[in-house]
Amino acid sequence: MTAQVEVGRGGAGGRARYLIDGRRVTVADLVEAGLVQAGAKLRFTRNRIGEIHQATITEQGRIRLDSDGEEFRSPSRAAMVAAGMRAVDGWRVWLVVDQDRLLDAVRQELLDQAISEGDRPHRDTARPSVHERLRQARQRAEAREPERVTVRELLTYWGAEDRGDQVSQIEADLANHGLVTSPSFRAVTLDTVVALTVPPDGAEGSLTAEGAGGDDIRIVDEDEGDDDLNVRLTVGNLSPLAGVEFVKPDGALVEAITKMTLNDYSQLAVLNGTRNLRGAVTWRSIARALQRKPDASVADAIDPQVEVVSYDRDLFEILPVLQKRDFVFVLDETKAIKGIVTTADVAHRYGEMATPFFQLGELDQTLRWVLRRNFDIDTVRSICGRPTTSFERLTIGDYQRVLEHDAMWRRLGWPLDRATFIARLNEIRAIRNKIMHFHPDPIPEDAVDKLRMFNRLLRDYRGPT
């Protein structure tokens, strides 16, 4: 999906070739495109404390700090080390002195030129559309009116249905346009609404060409690497962060009982505002309160011993808490109580994840058993076209090659249409590849149904065991 783009600039170097799709733009790309020159001076001004940091762009496109000569590929890392800050968006603080504009503005020019090149066809015709959408989203974010979409809607910009193989490209495109999602689109459900904003959530709107307006400008991750490995399952992947049903501390207990009964809840938050959690009422705490006091109120039934976790917390880390408490309340990126995760939610989710694995395991063992029973390994090896030494080493692709072979199919004697059978097996091969490339989104129900029904068919025709 990577597209090669040429951008022409004057100078002895002529036209420069480089890749921008699928990874983050680097300062080296700007140098190669002729948009900044090796030796160009950079300045990072911290107005609040009257501090100025200087750096130079090297011929290799690295940033060399004038203070100690240390070099960095990442503008953010260079700014962090120069200023002794925990994190900072280097693209939006380093000023290219001779151009009187930020590195970020140069990066945007690079993207604009790459997309507008009309003399080179793009392999991916959707790229200009993605670029334009993100450019407009950046304008809205800087105007403090960030675009808000569900994660599912966001993925459609890239023609994706889930957070699969394209996640790295999506993050690179967002980063290249100076955007992040709030909350992180990786750590929530597909139906959670996220804002496309400049990090952190509009706080950099005061940045100008003269430097940073503040000293605590944070970013979600630095841009030192091309790929951000993230295979975690988070608490937010189970909670849509759409708010929680609650009662107030001075409410009537019958209100809590009614809400819990209507919604089949085992617990209910007790809130005085979205950030003032007083505890929870549970069926157990209600029973104890009524035992002590027949006319008990919500205040009498509050269990203050509750656990609160951030939406981006690793789910595995809170499993012991869930085992002990049965539920946790979930904070969104603003530290408001916006979700709840229960042991039932976790059991359901792990069931969603485990079911396709077990179905694939049954399918694999059944097809291997069918081939071993009906064919010898030498014949199978000749059809597979690779040095297969045993039936245990066969893949779904091998099963497909053997079963679509006319003579082998006739030998099975199954009263089935071979083309239809092989077409479904090919679909299952694609499903298998998707499952094995772990990501936080559940496998679609229709895919699980295909596995179940295929296994059911195999049970009917495999023969006696």
Q: Residues 310-325: pLDDT tens digits?
A: 999 999 999 999 999 9
Q: What is the percentage of the chain residues whose pLDDT exceeds 70?
A: 85
pLDDT value at residue 350: 87
Range of the domain at 140: 4-206
In a domain, 33, yes or no: yes
Q: Which residues have CB under 8 Å from 145's CB, separation 6+?
A: none
The answer to whether the peptide bond before residue 464 is cis (omega within 30 degrees of 0) is no
Residue 329's SS3 state is strand
Cα atoms in the 13 Å half-sphere on the side-chain side of 405: 20
Residues 243 and 391 in one domain: no
Cα atoms in the 13 Å half-sphere on the side-chain side of 78: 32
Q: What residue has token string 């003032």?
A: 276
Question: 160, 188, 206 — which closes off a domain?
Answer: 206
Residues 380 and 354 in one domain: yes
pLDDT value at residue 116: 67
In a domain, 407, yes or no: yes
Q: How many domains does the chain have?
A: 3
Residues 31 and 162 in one domain: yes
Residues 68 and 165 in one domain: yes
Query: What is the number of residues in the chain?
Result: 465
In a domain, 211, yes or no: no
pLDDT value at residue 201: 36
pLDDT value at residue 231: 59
pLDDT value at residue 288: 96
Which among 179, 163, 169 has a CA at the least distance from the CA of 127? 169
Residues 73 and 146 in one domain: yes
Residues 350 and 311 in one domain: no
| For range 340-353, the mean pLDDT | 92
pLDDT value at residue 439: 66
pLDDT higher than threshold 70 for residue 175: yes
Residue 416's SS3 state is coil
In a domain, 272, yes or no: yes
Residues 316 and 355 in one domain: no
In a domain, 228, yes or no: no
pLDDT higher than threshold 50 for residue 295: yes
Which CATH number do you get for residue 323? Answer: 3.10.580.10
Give residue 409's identity as a one-letter amino acid code.
W
Question: 157, 184, 206 — which closes off a domain?
Answer: 206
Four-point Cα dihedral 14, 18, 20, 21, nearest 10: 130
Residues 53 and 166 in one domain: yes
Residues 83 and 159 in one domain: yes
The band of 86, judged by pLDDT with boundaries at 50, 70 and 90, is confident
Which among 266, 269, 265, 270 has a CA at the least distance from the CA of 250? 270
Residue 390's SS3 state is coil
In a domain, 432, yes or no: yes
Quote the pTM value.
0.74
In a domain, 373, yes or no: yes
Residues 293 and 268 in one domain: yes
pLDDT higher than threshold 60 for residue 224: no
End-to-end CA distance of the chain: 46
The band of 200, judged by pLDDT with boundaries at 50, 70 and 90, is low
Residues 34 and 172 in one domain: yes
Question: 335, 360, 379 — which closes off a domain?
Answer: 335
pLDDT value at residue 460: 93
Residues 174 and 53 in one domain: yes
In a domain, 83, yes or no: yes
